[in-house]
Structure 1
Amino acid sequence: LVYVSIEGKIAGGIEIHATIRPETKKVVSDLQSRGMDIYIVSGDNENPTRYLAHQLGLTDQSYYFGVLPQDKAKLIQSFQKNGKKICYIGDGINDGIALKQSNVSCSLSGATSIAIDTAQIILMNRDLTQLLELFDLAKNLQKNMDTNLLTTIYPGAISIGGVFLFHFGVITTELIFYLSLMSGVFNASLPQFQYGDSGRTKLKEIGSEQAN
């Protein structure tokens, strides 16, 4: 709040509050539809923080105000102790400790040097919709890795069980092994077919992971 005076007497005040990026409401709504809990953790006082939360459609239990930098990290730790995985997005000096404590940390191009140096991922276009692309890429990667694991475990179990229970011969066992190997290689190559050069370009646009 900035007070305005005329000839030494208070004539009024100007309230300054955070503005909301045009894409923020859509991003918050989309992330919530994926089952994610969204919180605002701010060092500002209660009124502007509550206003921001309500503008984004968040409840009174979804924002924290007047939080010091070290307390942001403690809050994240309390969530993590309850089994939550935290993705923290911050661009200020006060976000450095919280970014370091989080499981995944993101910042924006043009943010403070502390935030950029600490964050694992930088959104180069300063557009929060890139978060949705980031989560989509992560989900597809996890799905691909899970499938690769299954193509390794199941054929191996079938081969071992087949040898002892059904008396598989060497040729049958080797055939199962090579089919498993081929399916694993094909599955591991799927991201290249799905994204190709455009996928690498998208990753560069989203950001880069900082070396620890």
Structure 2
Amino acid sequence: LMVGTAKSAKMGVLIKNGEVLEKVTDIDTVVFDKTGTITIGKPKVTDIVGDSKRVLTVATSLEESSEHPLATAIVKKAKEEKIAPVKVDNFAAIEGKGVKANFNDHTALVGSNKLFANSNISREIQDEAEQLQNEAKTVIYVGLDQQVIGLIAIQDVPKPSAKAAIAELKKRGLKTVMLTGDNKNVAQAIGKQVGIDQIIAGVLPTDKADNIKKLQKAGNKVAFVGDGINDAPALSTADVGIAMGAGTDIAIESGGIVLVQNDLMGVVKALDISKKTFNRIKLNLFWTLIYNLIGIPIAAGLFAGIGLQLSPELAGLAMAFSSVSVLTSSLLLNKAKIAGTSTQTA
């Protein structure tokens, strides 16, 4: 355990306890959050449909105090366009849908199309939204008094390491799943780019843990990789929670494994070193058992009648050799080959 956790720490993988090592050996499914985990987490506004100044003014006025990556992208774009936010009243966040507030005596709404479920959205707006989503862009609807006045398209690209990491997991026979609250079209486009096996889209933050439970009830042993506040329940529910080190404190606290670097190859490293460490523990226990099953009866004199016995000195030396062999076996973990590292010695 000491050697395995020390080696993993040098690779930027923090394993919190031995229980995690045991559970990792059974993992057959790895579930990823999308924003900030598979993607870089720094989305940018790419398109604005409608009166650009009006749409951005309403959106940035409602989103200026939010820490969500999409909100940050909108506020940044407004600053670039030198558009100042307007003070709003009765601000309210609607979980999984968006936000609303009083804006110049109007009810302003900014969020997904779910926020406008009771509104009539024009065919033109719907077509524009669908086209943008097919380009792997997240579409934010902006409205006043339930009337959609425009769209803001935001795009976040996959991390450079995402495709390679998922390919490595597949080589190990693991199923990969992406769990996201984003639109199905956007999720599928991102998933296709990185090679994800299964996509579960349109998931509310409160439902992430429930989806993990569904996978577990289907007989899967699940590792979940996430970075946000709303990922904490899923990280705790999964058999193994893997938190991105660049994520929120609550996500890091909820994960059994923490990736110091914001790199998805760390997931492969974490699973590999955990499995190799636990396998080394089992190997040590196996040979220790064999060694003692043979050595103790001889040292006790049970075979003295046939001339097979050990003096106390030799028995003590044999016991010392047993400890040295276990330590040597454990230290060989430092030479273990781990994907994504420079160590190549077997």
Smaller-chain TM-score bracket: 0.7 to 0.9
Query: Which stretch of the first structure deviates more once superposed, 106-115 or 20-29?
Result: 106-115
3-state SS in 1 of match to 2:242 = strand
| Cα deviations by residue, 1:110-142 (Å, 9 ceiling, x for unpaired) | 312321222222222211222222222112211
Distance 1:183 1:44, change over 3 A: same
> Which amino acid is 1:149 matched to?
L
TM-score (norm. length: structure 2) = 0.47
Distance 2:317 2:271 in 1: 33
> Which amino acid is 2:176 matched to?
I
Does the alignment pair 1:192 with 2:331?
yes
Shift of 1:24: 0.5
Distance 1:6 1:121, change over 3 A: same
Contact between 1:88 and 1:98, CA under 8 Å: does it hold in 2?
yes
Does the alignment pair 1:129 with 2:265?
yes
Distance 1:137 1:181, change over 3 A: farther
Shift of 1:146: 1.0
Query: Which stretch of the first structure deviates more once superposed, 38-47 or 173-182?
Result: 173-182
1:84-123 alignment to 2 at 5 Å? 84-123=220-259
Shift of 1:20: 0.1
Match of 2:49 in 1: 4
Percent identity at matched positions?
28
Distance 1:63 1:75 in 2: 12
Where in structure 1 are there 5+ consecutive unaligned residues? 197-201, 203-212
Distance 1:160 1:189 in 2: 22
Shift of 1:161: 8.3
> Which amino acid is 2:303 matched to?
F
Contact between 2:242 and 2:259, CA under 8 Å: does it hold in 1?
yes
Instruction: Return the match for 1:171 from 279, 287, 309.
Output: 309
Distance 1:177 1:152 in 2: 15
Structure with bigger gyration radius: 2
Query: Which stretch of the first structure deviates more once superposed, 179-188 or 138-147?
Result: 179-188
Distance 1:38 1:112 in 2: 23
Instruction: Return the match for 1:42 from 175, 180, 200.
Output: 180
3-state SS in 2 of match to 1:26 = helix
Instruction: Return the match for 2:190 from 52, 62, 69.
Output: 52
Does the alignment pair 1:154 with 2:154?
no
TM-score (norm. length: structure 1) = 0.73
Which structure has more RCO (C-alpha within 8 Å, separation ≥ 6)? 2
Shift of 1:42: 0.7
| Cα deviations by residue, 1:61-89 (Å, 9 ceiling, x for unpaired) | x1101122332212222333344322111
Distance 1:154 1:73 in 2: 44
3-state SS in 2 of match to 1:39 = strand
Match of 1:28 in 2: 166
Distance 1:116 1:173, change over 3 A: same
3-state SS in 2 of match to 1:110 = coil
**Cα RMSD over matched residues?**
3.5
Distance 1:48 1:181, change over 3 A: farther
Distance 1:39 1:120 in 2: 19
Shift of 1:3: 4.5
Shift of 1:144: 1.1
- Give the helix-richer structure, 1 or 2: 1
Distance 1:63 1:173 in 2: 66
| Cα deviations by residue, 1:167-212 (Å, 9 ceiling, x for unpaired) | 523835987896476345423343435539xxxxx9xxxxxxxxxx
Distance 2:277 2:311 in 1: 30
Where in structure 2 are there 5+ consecutive unaligned residues? 1-44, 56-123, 129-150, 336-340, 342-346
Match of 2:78 in 1: none
Distance 2:321 2:207 in 1: 51
Contact between 1:109 and 1:123, CA under 8 Å: does it hold in 2?
yes
Query: Which stretch of the first structure deviates more once superposed, 83-92 or 11-20?
Result: 11-20
> Which amino acid is 1:186 matched to?
S
Contact between 1:155 and 1:180, CA under 8 Å: does it hold in 2?
no
Contact between 1:147 and 1:187, CA under 8 Å: does it hold in 2?
no
